[in-house]
Amino acid sequence: MDLKVRPIELDAAGKTIAIINNHDAKELGVRPMERIIITKGNKKMCVIINTTADRFVKRGEIIVYHEVREALKLKNSDIVHAKPRGALESKKYIKEKVRGKELEYKKYKAIIFDVIQRNLNDLEISSLITALEINGMTEQEVYDVTKIIVETGKRVNFKGAVVDKHSVGGVPGDKTTLMFVPIIAASGLTIPKTSSRSITSAAGTADRMEALAPVEFSISQIKKIVDKTGGCIVWGGAVDLAPADDLFIQIEHPLNLDPLFIPSIMSKKISMGSKYLVIDMPSGPDAKIKTGKDFDDISKKFLHIAHKFGIKTRCVMTDARQPLGRNIGPLLEAREALENIIMPKEKNLINKVIVLSNTLMKLAGRKENAMEIIESGLAEEKLREIIKYQGGNEDIKPEMLQPGKFRHEIRSKESGRVKYINIKTIAVKAKMCGAPDDKKAGIIMQKQLNDTVKKHETLYTLYSESRNKMNQAAKGDVGFIVK
Amino acid sequence: MDLKVRPIELDAAGKTIAIINNHDAKELGVRPMERIIITKGNKKMCVIINTTADRFVKRGEIIVYHEVREALKLKNSDIVHAKPRGALESKKYIKEKVRGKELEYKKYKAIIFDVIQRNLNDLEISSLITALEINGMTEQEVYDVTKIIVETGKRVNFKGAVVDKHSVGGVPGDKTTLMFVPIIAASGLTIPKTSSRSITSAAGTADRMEALAPVEFSISQIKKIVDKTGGCIVWGGAVDLAPADDLFIQIEHPLNLDPLFIPSIMSKKISMGSKYLVIDMPSGPDAKIKTGKDFDDISKKFLHIAHKFGIKTRCVMTDARQPLGRNIGPLLEAREALENIIMPKEKNLINKVIVLSNTLMKLAGRKENAMEIIESGLAEEKLREIIKYQGGNEDIKPEMLQPGKFRHEIRSKESGRVKYINIKTIAVKAKMCGAPDDKKAGIIMQKQLNDTVKKHETLYTLYSESRNKMNQAAKGDVGFIVK
């Protein structure tokens, strides 16, 4: 069927969508959400069809979103040819997974190909994600999917012995990476660290680092930085290493499901050429890893895949019973990392940094000691070098990083000792103050676990650029048990 | 946040969608596919957010689709207030179902409310449908969901003892309803039959009936027809009895999953006030019901729910080893039904109609016999009465219904007896000829199971309004085993 193009000045968030008249859709034999192939000259594209009544799109017309117009170089009133897209094999495979079957390599390959080509729509990907979550994946399936995500993405080659760290997350105030990367790079290993921005937390590593330097770079820019300094701390989202993974995450996040977390993490390590890896698993009553059994189960899965891809890996259980260090929020966390790399003082932060760094260096056959690297000033020097090559101010001082202008102290109603800190409550309050979008929003903890507290003494202080947000955050349970 | 309205002349297929600038979305704290509430005067609405870059939608602007503009009566440059929609409880319940939990009444109520209000998006509904498919539903869950679908829909009250028939489908050429309804109505029972159009078959009952009379009516029009004649055969899709069910089906169909089939069917029977019901379960090697065990399992589920709602129900296993009667395709099937109600001749069709009709009449305490109702002419008279009240030509004669102008005979390569007919192959060929959209497209079977066939004798004939489609349909396996 030939159709006359009407472009629309809207994008479809990366999806390839076109709109045709109900009657034309019927004639083509497609229903809304199904796909047609449109051809213009020697270019063709698979698009998802929306249909509409005559008053919006007349018969013989096709409205194309920005993405389609660009890809096919369409102008108003161009004529394109449309035909129905045949049935997708990958839809059958998704249904097999729904039925509880284990899928083999070539079926995942077909699925992931159709995800990348945008042949599968959100409904179908949502159904796949849900089926993977419920029915689980065998070790072979996790391996195959990881491999396919790598094969369909980019790979980068860095000089030297490439190492990495990954945290499964869950502890507020975790600025470990900002200290870990310079220590490791100072030891002579290569650590091209890509990090996420906050998805659900008060700050992601990319948000923290952004208080010190820009974090958005192309792969070739990252390669230049790392080849110069041995390390970087950049945002992974701009890198486009693994397009399949990015597309899965777009569906997983709103569903709050995460069945592909191992392929998602490991594929990026493989693409970056990591040979040694330490996985940080913060554990505590309110963290993702609650028990030793959780740690064992998840470690086993990581180690299995890492081994199959030849990445020497250690999993380390770390303490998530309270925020790490005293500062929470992008700018406050960057400041605390800077303070502690200049002069170690915050015990629970320093301990974690040292344990993780030494574990990784030992794994990679190094004899250096992390505490010595900090105390010698080499770590600070390396951090300033990375800041400089990422385009930040290498002479930055902690006192130049000042939090939001409104502050509010949360005080204890009891005297006694701090027996329990609810890390979720603390994280939520930091977010309510505006973190991570308000970089200056956050919390400073005056009291930590086992500290002695007097009645009316300050437990922690809220900071925000918005008095209103701060007042909201000040309400409700304080998240401390003092007795 | 206040935003300036730009309406867009597109509908979103019933969804309430608005598009705002990336930065405004960030400030509101919403990501694409999440929801915001927009308010204009005393009207408010929950809309799904798409986000886009500056070049499409400027900061401070909001593009609203047709559905939103209509509902809030918005004009260009109107100012609306936007605020984030809080977390949906129903999302938590969907996740519980993903985790394998049985959900209680009030949780399904919250989910279904949010489906109807369009608060849950397609991704989330897809995840729910997949979880229901994989984890299944207890009898209590099926009961609760059925009840909620009824409660959130409309109910109709007809005069007399309301009865119904439902087929779980799967046999091509099934024009039973066109004969069954007039027989039942002639016996004095009330049968307000709503039917579907074809979804995957060559013809749905609504498509068949449409060759004789209009089928799209509002509930009040249906009530008038049924109160006059005791019966009707109309399209259920225009009736809007159960909005929740309609919305679930919009997701289930593209996913090709059907976990809610019992609530979907039973809720409509309840809404129509049925007291007696016969469920037709066509069974055969290529049908949905393949074995006696399939029949027992599905029957048991139907009977349980029917019993709880006080509907006296019988399930009947019928023959689906070959097409029913000889004609397939909307017009050809209507013709065969009309021929056979005038003068019974097609044994497998007549047998099925008689068995189902007598089962239902007996269940409802009637002593009439279906064959006598046909032979007395009362059934034909009733069919013509229904055709008349639905606005068709009550004097229609079979010879006025002529199939497509192109025809092609499929001949046997062997001599022998017909041992097997693949009903899926026959159905696909009828669809390839253009059915159901081309009402005149279809197939007439010259041979049936156990018939003797000579080499080169005609097995069946294809009809179409398109020579091209017919030629396509003529290719490939004929779907018969003759030996």
Q: What is the pLDDT of residue A48?
A: 81
Chain B nearest CA to A464, separation (Å): 15
Characterise B77 by phi-psi region: left (phi > 0), alpha (psi -120 to 50), beta (else): left
Chain A residues with CB inside 8 Å of B56's CB? 9-11, 66
Question: What CA–CA distance (Å, rounded) separates A90 from A110?
Answer: 6
The pLDDT tens digits of the residues spanning B454-466 come to: 999 999 999 999 9
Question: What CA–CA distance (Å, rounded) separates B96 from B83?
Answer: 28
Question: What CA–CA distance (Å, rounded) separates B202 from B473?
Answer: 13
Whether residue B86 has pLDDT greater than 80: no
- Work out the average pLDDT over A174-195: 97
- Work out the average pLDDT over A81-96: 90
Question: What CA–CA distance (Å, rounded) separates A270 from A155?
Answer: 8
- Work out the average pLDDT over A52-76: 86
Q: Which two tokens stand for residue B237?
A: 């899709």
Closest CA to A139 of A340, A368, A304, A323: A304
Chain B residues with CB inside 8 Å of A257's CB? 95, 98, 127
Q: What is the pLDDT of residue B118?
A: 79
Whether residue A33 has pLDDT greater than 80: no
- For A253, nearest residue in chain B (alpha carbons): B31
Give me the residue spans of the domains in chain B: 2-84, 89-136, 163-239+256-398, 403-482
Percent of chain A whose pLDDT exceeds 70: 99
Q: Which residues contact B42 (CB under 8 A, 6 or more apart)?
A: none
Comparing CB atoms, the residue among A10, A19, A131 nearest residue B56 is A10
Q: What is the pLDDT of residue A295?
A: 96
Question: What CA–CA distance (Å, rounded) separates A369 from A309?
Answer: 28
Question: What CA–CA distance (Å, rounded) separates B300 from B286?
Answer: 22
At the top level of CATH, which class does the domain A403-482 belong to?
Answer: alpha beta
Comparing CB atoms, the residue among A32, A51, A135 nearest residue B134 is A135
Is the bond preceding A192 in cis, omega lying within 30 degrees of 0?
Answer: no
Q: Average pLDDT, whole number, for chain A? A: 93
Is A160 within 8 Å of A192 (Cβ atoms)? no
Q: What is the pLDDT of residue A296?
A: 96
Q: Which two tokens stand for residue B147?
A: 């009840």
- The DSSP line for B68-133 is HHHHHT--TT-EEEEEEPPPPHHHHHHHHHHTTPPPPHHHHHHHHHHHHTT-S-HHHHHHHHHHHH
Q: What is the pLDDT of residue B478?
A: 95
Whether residue B52 has pLDDT greater than 90: no
Whether residue A55 has pLDDT greater than 80: no
- Work out the average pLDDT over B32-54: 84
Location of structure tokens 């369009």: B118
Written as one letter, the residue type at B442 is: G
- Work out the average pLDDT over B379-398: 98
Whether residue B250 has pLDDT greater than 80: yes
- For B101, nearest residue in chain A (alpha carbons): A134
Question: What CA–CA distance (Å, rounded) separates A180 from A393?
Answer: 20
Percent of chain A whose pLDDT exceeds 90: 77
- CB-based contact A100 B134, cutoff 8 Å: yes
CATH for A163-237+260-398 (3.40.1030.10, 3.30.499.10, 3.40.225.10, 3.40.630.30): 3.40.1030.10
How many CA within 13 A on the CB side of residue A339?
Answer: 18
Q: What is the pLDDT of residue B253?
A: 86
Q: Which residues pair with B17 in a beta bridge?
A: B48
Q: B261-271 and B292-308 are packed helices; what angle lies between their axes, rounded to 10 degrees?
A: 40
Q: Which two tokens stand for residue B30?
A: 């919403």
The pLDDT tens digits of the residues spanning B389-444 come to: 999 999 999 999 999 999 999 999 999 999 999 999 999 999 999 999 899 999 99
Question: CA B19 from chain center: how many Å?
Answer: 33
Is A283 within 8 Å of A318 (Cβ atoms)? yes
Chain A nearest CA to B472, separation (Å): 15
Whether residue A241 has pLDDT greater than 80: yes
The pLDDT tens digits of the residues spanning A354-401 come to: 999 999 999 999 999 999 999 999 999 999 999 999 999 999 999 999
Chain A residues with CB inside 8 Å of B91's CB? 256
Interface residue of A55, A61, A123 to substitute, partner B, most B CBs within 10 Å? A123
Q: What is the pLDDT of residue B475?
A: 93
Question: What CA–CA distance (Å, rounded) separates B337 from B343?
Answer: 10
Is A189 within 8 Å of A367 (Cβ atoms)? no
What are residue A193's phi and psi, to 5 degrees? Answer: -90, 115
pLDDT band of residue A415 (cuts 50, 70, 90) is very high
- Work out the average pLDDT over B193-203: 87
- For B129, nearest residue in chain A (alpha carbons): A127
Q: What is the pLDDT of residue B13?
A: 67
Q: What is the pLDDT of residue A250?
A: 86
According to CATH, what is the number of the domain B89-136? 1.20.970.10
- Work out the average pLDDT over A226-230: 96
Closest CA to A164 of A180, A186, A147, A149: A180
Q: What kind of architecture, by CATH, is found in domain B163-239+256-398?
A: 3-Layer(aba) Sandwich (3.40)
E strands of B158-275, at which residues? 163-167, 191-195, 231-235
Is A354 within 8 Å of A320 (Cβ atoms)? no
Q: Which residues contact B25 (CB under 8 A, 6 or more apart)?
A: B31, B32, B49, B51
The pLDDT tens digits of the residues spanning B204-239 come to: 999 999 999 999 999 999 999 999 999 999 998 878
- For B91, nearest residue in chain A (alpha carbons): A255
Q: Average pLDDT, whole number, for chain B? A: 93
Comparing CB atoms, the residue among A31, A55, A134 nearest residue B135 is A134
Question: What CA–CA distance (Å, rounded) separates B331 from B17?
Answer: 40
Q: What is the pLDDT of residue A13?
A: 67
Pairing of strands B191-195, B231-235: parallel
Whether residue A16 has pLDDT greater than 90: no
- CB-based contact A124 B254, cutoff 8 Å: yes
The pLDDT tens digits of the residues spanning A117-161 come to: 878 888 999 999 999 999 999 999 999 999 999 999 999 999 999
Chain B nearest CA to A27, separation (Å): 8
Comparing CB atoms, the residue among B55, B124, B134 nearest residue A134 is B134
**A348 vs B23, residue with greater confidence:** A348
The pLDDT tens digits of the residues spanning A432-459 come to: 999 998 999 999 999 999 999 999 999 9
The pLDDT tens digits of the residues spanning B134-174 come to: 999 999 999 999 999 999 999 999 999 999 999 998 899 99
The secondary structure of A279-333, three-state, reads: EEEEECCCCCECCHHHHHHHHHHHHHHHHHCCCEEEEEEEECCCCCCCEECHHHH
Q: What is the pLDDT of residue A17?
A: 83
Interface residue of A85, A134, A197, A199 to substitute, partner B, most B CBs within 10 Å? A134
CATH for B2-84 (3.40.50.2300, 3.40.50.300, 2.60.40.10, 2.40.40.20): 2.40.40.20
Whether residue A31 has pLDDT greater than 80: no
Q: Which residues contact B35 (CB under 8 A, 6 or more apart)?
A: B46, B47, B48, B49, B84, B85, B119, B121
- CB-based contact B56 A19, cutoff 8 Å: no
Is B217 within 8 Å of B256 (Cβ atoms)? no
Chain B residues with CB inside 8 Å of A135's CB? 134
Q: What ipTM was estimated for this complex?
A: 0.84
